[in-house]
Amino acid sequence: MPHISVSMYPGRTQEQKRELVAKLTDAFVETCGGNREGVWVVINEVPAENWGVGGELRG
């Protein structure tokens, strides 16, 4: 069972997240094979103040 994890800032609509999950699933199946039912996608919405880049906290 493939598992795709996406971390991003909060704020996208449910429709945007549905489309993201569908397109990531399709891309995986087209590239690696398998079937859609076996692909898991998890969206982690992480507030901007909890992201660190280049050794510094962004928030």
- Catalytic residue positions, numbered: 2
Q: In whole angstroms, how large is the CA radius of gyration of the chain?
A: 14
Token reading at 28:
């995986």
Token reading at 5:
């994890």
